[in-house]
Chain A
Amino acid sequence: MNLALKDIRHNLGRFLLTCLGLSLLLGIVLAMVGIYRGLILESLGLVRAAGAQVWVVEGDTRGPFAEASRLPGDMREAVAAQWGVAAAGGVSYQNVEAVHRGVTKRLMVVGAEIARPGEALSVVEGRPVLRSHYEAVADRSAGLALGEQIKLGRYLFTVVGLTRNLVASGGDPVVFITLRDAQKLQFDLTPAAARREVVRSGGASGTIDTVNAIVVRLLPGIDPKRFAQDIVRWKHLAALTQDDQEAVLSRSVIDRARRQIGLFTTLLLCVSTVIIGLIIYTMTIDKKKSIATLKLIGAPDRHIVGLIVQQALAMGVISFLAGAALISAGQAYFPRRVVLQPEDAASLFGIVLVVCLIASALGVRTALRIDPASALAG
């Protein structure tokens, strides 16, 4: 006969209500961990989307994801001509605000060369950019449909393909256009300003062929580390392997997010502990007479402790499962990508169990102090 369950059944309403509240809390914790995972995947997504092995960037910088990195576009030929290079492509990154169906959206516009490293790797719908102008491949999260047009800067682009789950680390959906279009978008001035520039520079139209990085794919058997070291010997260039690049991102974006989310998660778990503790405590106080009676009849302490700890655990487990179900169901409606990993859920589950044990301490202490003789008092 499980006294813990019987007592829960007796107070089912209050118990379930508490579980509901707790499940929301634990759901939020899971969601935050999920958002954190999503953040990592998202921010690495853009870096991984390039399919690079080595990133050639401006000398003395750590690349466009950490700081400003600019290098002349014609460096691409020089890099591509290096021994061991399978392919190289110039890429540019810029944030653009665009008005779409009356809503202003921030987009991460990636300029990449057609059929060269850096262009959208996996187009899930439609096709890659094939024409050198005014075509775009957009991420689904941008809310653009195939064939739809969107105005970026002064130009109208047609969406020819869609990617999935590709956003910048700030959450902005990624839009791929050709490098030429991207450079125009970045450097093209209004006609009046352009005329002034031409006059100032003495007739030569200023070069706009600037890229933020050159994405390099190597031939089989070439060690990216060695290759990167060789590049660094060149003047004005630096190089990062894909691993370096991901590490740079981890340090900048992810560590901050980890600290923030870690803090909130810890706070929420503390709140959960307090709630479980209080409810278990009041449930114990309500059972004072029953516990005294049990002791009087002759129930050993481990029975009494078991009664309380089991209730705390039941509360934690039910709330956790309900919270997990809630978040899995509501995952799609979150403004950010929520990635629920089984191992995260498992470790949160473990933490919840520990929290329950801690929370039941107060109730257990109270229960153990109850005097069996108090059952006799009318």
Chain B
Amino acid sequence: MTTQPVVEIRGISKHFGEGLARVDALRDVSLDVFPGTVIGLRGPSGSGKSTLLNVIGCILEPNSGSMRLSGELVYDGKWLRPDLRSLRLEKIGFIFQSHNLLPFLNAWENVAVARTLAGANLAQAKERALELLTYLGVERRQDAMPGELSGGEAQRVAIARALANDPRIILADEPTAALDSQRAGKVMDLLRKVAAERDAAVIVVTHDEKIFDRFDQIHSLRDGVIEGTAENRRP
């Protein structure tokens, strides 16, 4: 691949606690993720998958190393931008295990809110939201409240929200854990489609072996170290 990676991690370490209580969640992790690819992170519980994802999402500050997001050096021993939230708003879309839609907003509002936070007016944001809901095949449920959505529908709305500001990086922590295997497969297909059509890098934490074939690459973590990488050859 000749393109620039959207996520470039070099020697990232992260530990929690000190002394006897010290847990090294990430040890000297380096990773490149290219646009248009779907990357999996697997490993036993406590191996540091969520920690790695949170570091990439600029939610958790690592202890050392450096990190570049879509070409911009954002961490180099310390955060280089004071406004991490606007960084997230413009560069990163999050998809959660439990969909985490705001319970007091309906489907399209949940998508539009991310857009309005980035400065769009409501009309623009709504238009964009409906577009995305259509793209993800849940436009019929646009006025439903999250409580009225099925698990699969809610997860699609959540994906639409993650896409609202056209991020180049999409982070998903066990997005299919709450879905049956058929729906899980559909969600993964959607993420593949998003990666391919929007030239985004999708990083997915998962335990779910049934969907392993949907990834371009799967990194296996153990005790905070990437101990192996499997490539899925695609036609």
Contacts and interface: CB of A to CB of B under 8 A. Distances in A.
Contact of B117 (A9, A297, A378): A297
A373 B60 contact: yes
Contacts of B144: none
**Interface residues on chain B, size class:** 20 to 34
Query: Which secondary structure dominates chain A's binding surface?
Result: helix
A298 B104 contact: no
B104 A10 contact: yes
6 contacts: A1-B116, A1-B125, A3-B104, A297-B113, A298-B89, A298-B118
The 8 closest A-B CB pairs, nearest first, are: A298-B89, A10-B104, A298-B88, A7-B104, A298-B85, A378-B97, A373-B59, A6-B104
Nearest to A301: B85
Nearest to B110: A293
B45 interface: no
Contact of A289 (B97, B100, B105, B109): B100
B177 A297 contact: no
Nearest to A376: B173
B103 A378 contact: no
Interface of A: 1, 3, 6-7, 9-11, 289-290, 293-300, 303, 372-373, 375-376, 378
Most buried by A among B57, B98, B104, B125: B104
Given A298-B86, A300-B85, A378-B96, 9 more contacts: A1-B109, A1-B116, A10-B104, A289-B100, A290-B104, A294-B113, A295-B85, A297-B89, A300-B86
A125 B137 CA distance: 78
A297 B59 contact: no
Contacts of A9: 104
Interface string B27-70: 00000000000000000000000100110010110000000000
A319 B225 CA distance: 57
A299 B117 contact: yes
A3 B109 CA distance: 10
Contacts of B114: 297-298
Given A10-B104, A373-B54, A298 B173 contact: no
B174 A378 contact: yes
Given A296-B94, A298-B86, A298-B117, A378 B177 contact: yes
B216 to A, nearest CB: 23
A294 B101 CA distance: 10
A6 B118 contact: no
Contacts of A303: 117
Given A299-B117, A300-B85, A375 B100 contact: yes
A294 B113 CA distance: 9
B96 A1 contact: no
